[in-house]
Amino acid sequence: MQIYQTRAVLQEALAQFRRTGKSIALVPTMGNLHAGHLALVAAARAECDIVLATIFINPLQFSPGEDLSSYPRTLDADIAGLTASACDAVFIPATTEMYPNGLDNQTLVSVPGLTARHCGASRPGHFDGVCTVVSKLLHLTGPDAAFFGEKDYQQLQVIRKMVSDLCMPVIIRGVPVQRSEDGLALSSRNGYLTDAEREVAPLLQQQLVSTRDSIVAGNTDYAALESAGMQALATAGFRPDYIAVCDAATLEPATAANTDLVILAAAWLGKTRLIDNITLQRA
């Protein structure tokens, strides 16, 4: 597997691939790779000739007080995992390489509307940081397709909207959530959980399943389902941020007219913020 650290070397290598007619897949990550990330690599591998992963902990998407400095950094293991997954190349830029003019007064890419609620409301500036870095990576690499996890459901929808609004010539693919055997969505932040919190963590997905089952059984009082879900999470020991039954595309609160739904949830367990979601179709 090739390792690139600078834009110049990356772009020269990609130009060479393109000259030989190879299609390119981009898999952006922040590293500390687990089976969720490697599922993106596998999906990319199945679709394109060249799979390019990126590992970059993007300071712009962390708010002050969040876990930028403690975010897990496991570069050797990440490179081993990517190599074993038949990834062709990885771009691991320094912050100065991605932000050559510094982070202050950086041009930002914003997707209003879709970022107004949910994680966008709880983490001001987060999605501007995500959209800015993802658009930089898309500009730098010009991939045929880019792969993102459905685990970060709002992020995936925001990126789809950004790419559509900015007429970016790239296909965005969503890859299903990868979970532990007990249902907990894999996340680099799961490593922050204490043993006791790790026992409780799967209840987040169980709550989503139970809310989904109530809707499938005919309950359309979404506000009541949301408050009951928040209450159940609080009783289990979480500090719930939100549970929201939404239209799956717009992420606006679901109405009786919506048939494609997503239930989004975020909740704190101690110092760890967990997110998860479940999609469903109403008849």
> Which one, 52 or 225, has the nearer CB to ligand AMP?
52
> Which one, 137 or 175, has the nearer CB to ligand AMP?
175
User: Shortest gap between Cβ of 256 and ligand AMP (angstroms)?
Assistant: 30
> Which one, 22 or 189, has the nearer CB to ligand AMP?
189
> Which one, 14 or 30, has the nearer CB to ligand AMP?
30
Tokens of 265: 């949830």
User: Shortest gap between Cβ of 148 and ligand AMP (angstroms)?
Assistant: 4
For this structure, is 118 an active site residue? no
Active-site residue (options: 37, 118, 126, 139) = 37
**What is d(CA 101, CA 71) in angstroms, rounded to the nearest whole number?**
24
User: Shortest gap between Cβ of 58 and ligand AMP (angstroms)?
Assistant: 8
User: Shortest gap between Cβ of 126 and ligand AMP (angstroms)?
Assistant: 11
**Cβ contacts of residue 152 below 8 Å, gap of 6+?**
275
Please give the residue whose beta carbon sits closest to ligand AMP in the complex: 149
Site for ligand AMP, rule CB under 6 A: 29-30, 36-37, 39-40, 148-149, 151-152, 175, 177-178, 185-188
Helix or strand holding residue 216 (H, E):
helix 203-216
Residues forming a β-bridge with 71: none
What separation in angstroms does the CA of 225 have from each of 178, 193, 194, 208?
Answer: 25, 27, 29, 10
User: Shortest gap between Cβ of 40 and ligand AMP (angstroms)?
Assistant: 5
**Cβ contacts of residue 35 below 8 Å, gap of 6+?**
178, 186
Looking at residue 74, the DSSP 8-state letter turns out to be -
Q: What is the DSSP pairing of strand 89-91 with strand 2-4?
A: parallel
Phi/psi of residue 267, nearest 5 degrees: -155, 145
> Which one, 258 or 277, has the nearer CB to ligand AMP?
277
Query: Are 179 and 202 contacting, i.e. CB atoms less than 8 angstroms apart?
Result: no
Active-site positions? 37
